[in-house]
Amino acid sequence: MTQPVSIIMIEDDEGHARLIERNIRRSGVNNEIISFANGTDAMKHLFGPDGSGLVQKGNALLILLDLNLPDMTGIDILKQIKENKYLKASPVVVLTTTDDSQEIKRCYELGCNVYITKPVNYENFANAIRQLGLFFSVIQVPPAAS
Amino acid sequence: MIADAQRRRTFWQILLFAAGLLVLTVISAGSVYLVNKARDDSKWVVHTIEAENQINALLLEIRRAESAARGYLLTQAADFQGDHDKAVAAIIPALDKLTRLTGDNPAQRENIEKLSAAIETRLGQFAQEMDFVRRGEPEKAAALVREVASTDATAVIAKVATVMIQEEERLFRLRTVNSDRSQTLAASMTGIGSGLVVLLALISIWLVRRSARARDDAEARLRDANVNLEAVVDERTADLREANNEIQRFAYIVSHDLRSPLVNIMGFTSELEELGGDIFRRIGGLTHVPADGPPPSTGEIALEGPDKQLSADFSEALSFIKSSIAKMDRLISAILNLTREGRRAFQPEKIDTRELIEAIVSTLAHQAAEAQAEIHVAPLPDLVSDRLALEQIFSNLIDNAVKYLKPGVPGEIRIRGRTKLGYAIFEISDNGRGIDPKDHQRIFDLFRRAGTQDKPGQGIGLAHVRALVRRLGGTMSVSSELNTGSTFTITLPITWNASNRNADQ
């Protein structure tokens, strides 16, 4: 990666967050991972205090998003990210327990780049996250548009 | 209460009708009787007049005979003699007729007797007078006439006749009054009867109108009730639909949220397993290698004694946890799938049922061949329904039939269908192991199974099938005995009405 990419992880379940982080690290990805346990904090970080997203200008971000959050739905966050001119180019990976086809379709329609269902089987889970980590290590992430 | 009033009204109407009939009959009978009586009375009046006439006629004849006799005495002309003879000849029949006419009255009979006696005497005198004249002895005849005038025969005749006429006149008055009364009675009877009939008719009309009004009211109430009922049914249906949707959402959210911690449990259990492996390797390394020796190489290090036992216990505990998690995951997935099915919108289309079932049978051909089962599909009614739902229903049932055959007995599975009152009835019967009647309800419950548990399964199929059948607006039932095979009967509407259920979505 030409530029340090920050991974923003929005995941309310601490356990899941820990497992995801651990498996990403195991795949050899050493980028900074910033975790948020609720949507409000994540939104504040992504869009800044003024809500414009200007704070992220020039930063390369990769967003890991859970759909089931205590304070808002991940879909709302996804929608706002993809409607924001600074953030819309940042890849969003939806990583959630929901495997409802309607929901999946909806996310892709809103501009989600990858949709992964968390497998309960840990081997599959770990495998999926590690592959995602490998994927992270090769993809090019554009900096937030200016 | 309404039925009571209705009964009372009917009773009154019948009573009225009967009363009307009775009045008519009485009037008719009374009229016939009174008319007859009036005719009778008139007849008697006429009779009296006739009797009076007859008396006068008789008196006239007697007078004629008398005056002819006197004429003959004076002139001796043969003309007077002929006149006299004619008059005398008429007297007896006239008297006979009078006797006949007054035969009904005892008082008159007595008078007649007196009259006849007097007339007879008078006739005898006439004969004598005429005899004297004919023999040329007019003086004797004149003397006889003078004598006769002084005797009482003529006076008696006149007196009796007067009495008789008076009697007849009395009778005439009496009978006229009688006749008038009869006629008045007949007239008033007819009048009153007609009035009564008219009155009854009026009451009847009033009753009929009242009952018609009651009926109209009842109809209006019924209509209102129907409209209300429809509204109530709609409301209830909406409530039920809402409740059902809520349950669906609830199940979905619950099962979904149960899954999230499960990921953690499974994840950290696996992490723990790995950690455990690391720890036991380390223990093994520590116990085997002297403190100053080289560090333990990678690879399995055999543990000994209590350490080995510890490691085995550790692994066992973890494997129980993991298998339980896997099971729980399967159950949650099943609930999720069921609720997802419950949320899926049906797409009704025309379905060749037989083709659909043949396709299912062909996908099960391998299992059927293994179980030595033959599947017979009879002609089936076509449906307008959701294809996917029907496929799931029939493939579950046929799959079950193939799966639970009696070991060692060639299977025979039959699929039959017929239609009845807008519904198609399908029967899937087999000669398999059957289901104990006490389990007939249980097999439709989620995660419940019955009989020997020698086949893999979650206890979801039939619960799923029943949920689908219900959503399609149908019903299903089973009839079965242990060891004699089972028959599952599904009743589905021939045309699934999208408006009644899809609105939930």
Q: What is the pLDDT of residues B388-445, one digit of tens each?
A: 889 999 999 999 999 888 888 888 999 999 998 889 999 999 998 888 888 888 888 8
The predicted model gives B300-312 an average pLDDT of: 77
Instruction: Give yes or no for residue B500 having a pLDDT over 70.
Output: no
Contact pairs from chain A to chain B, CB under 8 Å: 50
CA proximity to A14, closest of B327, B254, B267 = B267
Rounded to whole angstroms, the Cα distance separating B368 from B401 reads 10
Nearest-neighbour CA in chain A from B292: distance (Å): 32
What three-state secondary structure class fits B469?
A: helix
Average pLDDT of B238-259?
83
CA distance B122 to B62: 9
Interface of A with B in 82-101 (CB under 8 A): 97-98, 100
- Confidence check: pLDDT of B136 > 50: yes
In chain B, which residues have their Cβ closer than 8 Å to the Cβ of A121?
266, 326, 329
Provide the terminal-to-terminal Cα distance of chain A, rounded to the nearest Å. 20
Domain boundaries, chain B: 2-210, 231-341, 346-504
Residue with tokens 């009835």: B425
**Which runs of consecutive H residues, i.e. helices, occur in B76-103?**
78-101
pLDDT of residue A57: 81
Q: Tell me the residues of chain B between 243 and 282 that have a Cβ less than 8 Å away from chain A.
A: 256-257, 259-264, 266-271
- The residues that bridge with B412 in the sheet, in sequence order, are B374
CA distance B445 to B324: 21
Say whether pLDDT at B463 is over 50.
Answer: yes
Q: What percentage of chain B has pLDDT greater than the value 70?
A: 95
The verdict on A19 touching B (C-beta cutoff 8 Å) is yes
- Specify which residues A8 forms β-bridges with: A34, A63
Tell me the CATH class for B346-504.
alpha beta
Contact list in A for residue B257 (CB cut-off 8 A) is: 68
The two domains B2-210 and B346-504 share their CATH topology (first three levels equal): no
Give me the phi and psi of A35, to 5 degrees please.
Answer: -100, 145
Mark yes or no for CB contact B260/A121 under 8 Å: no
**Beta pairing partners, B426:** B417, B490
B369: helix, strand or coil: helix
Q: How far apart are CA A30 and CA B169, in angstroms?
A: 157
Alpha helices for chain A (secondary structure H):
14-26, 39-47, 74-83, 101-109, 122-138
Here the tokens at position B198 are 């008219």
Handedness of CA B99, B100, B103, B104 (dihedral sign): negative
Note whether A1 contacts B: Cβ–Cβ < 8 A.
no
Nearest-CB residue to A120 (from B257, B262, B268) = B262
Other beta carbons less than 10 A from residue B442's beta carbon? 14
Residue B272: pLDDT over 80 = yes
Q: What is the pLDDT of residues A13-43, one digit of tens each?
A: 888 899 888 888 888 888 889 999 988 889 9
Mean predicted confidence (pLDDT) in B215-240? 91
Q: Which of A120, A124, A129 to mutate to test the interface with B (most CBs of B within 10 A)?
A: A120
Q: Of B257, B266, B340, which has the smallest distance from its Cβ to A121's Cβ?
A: B266
Instruction: List the single best residue of B252, B257, B263 to mutate versus A (max A Cβ within 10 A).
Output: B263
Cα separations in angstroms, B180 against A87, B35, B173, B187:
127, 11, 11, 10
pLDDT at residue B453 greater than cutoff 70: yes
Closest residue of chain A to B339, computed from CA coordinates? A100
Better-predicted residue by pLDDT, B210 or B499: B210
| B256 min Cα distance to partner chain A (Å) | 7
Which chain B residues touch A120 with a CB distance below 8 Å? 259, 262-263, 266, 325, 329
At residue B504 the predicted structure's pLDDT band, cuts being 50, 70 and 90, is very low
Q: Select from A69, A97, A123, A129 the residue whose CB has the most chain B CBs within 10 Å, as the one to mutate to test that interface.
A: A97
> pLDDT of B6-25, one tens digit each?
788 788 888 888 888 888 88
> Which one of B256, B268, B340 has the shortest CB-CB distance to A15?
B268
Give the pLDDT mean for B178-182. Answer: 86
Neighbouring C-alpha atoms within 13 Å toward the C-beta of B25? 6
B505 touches chain A (CB under 8 A): no
pLDDT at res. B58: 86
What integer pLDDT is reported at residue A2 of this predicted model?
A: 47
* Straight-line distance from the first to the last Cα atom of chain B, in angstroms, rounded to the nearest whole number: 46
CATH fold of B2-210 reads Four Helix Bundle (Hemerythrin (Met), subunit A) (1.20.120)
Question: Which residue, A16, A21, A18, A15, is CA-closest to A33?
Answer: A21
Distance CA B260, CA B281 (A): 32
Give, in degrees to the nearest 5, the angle at Cα B207 between B202 and B213. 125
| Contacts of B258 by beta carbon, 8 Å cutoff, 6+ apart | B328, B332
DSSP-derived 3-state class of residue A5: strand
What band does B505 get if pLDDT is binned at 50, 70 and 90?
A: very low
Mean pLDDT to the nearest integer, A50-78 = 86
For B343-385, the pLDDT digits (tens) are: 778 888 899 998 999 999 998 888 888 888 889 999 899 989 8
- Interface contact B340, partner A, CB < 8 A: yes
Which amino acid, one-letter code, is at B25?
A: T
Nearest to A64 by CA among A109, A116, A108, A8: A8
Q: In what order do the strands lie in the sheet with A114-117?
A: A33-36, A5-10, A60-65, A92-96, A114-117
A127 neighbors A22 (Cβ within 8 angstroms): no
- Amino acid making up residue B37: K
Local confidence band at B297 (pLDDT 50, 70, 90 cut-offs)? low
**3-class state of residue B380 by DSSP:** coil
Confidence of residue B170 (pLDDT cuts 50, 70, 90): confident
pLDDT at position B427 is: 93
Element (H, E) at B353: helix B353-363
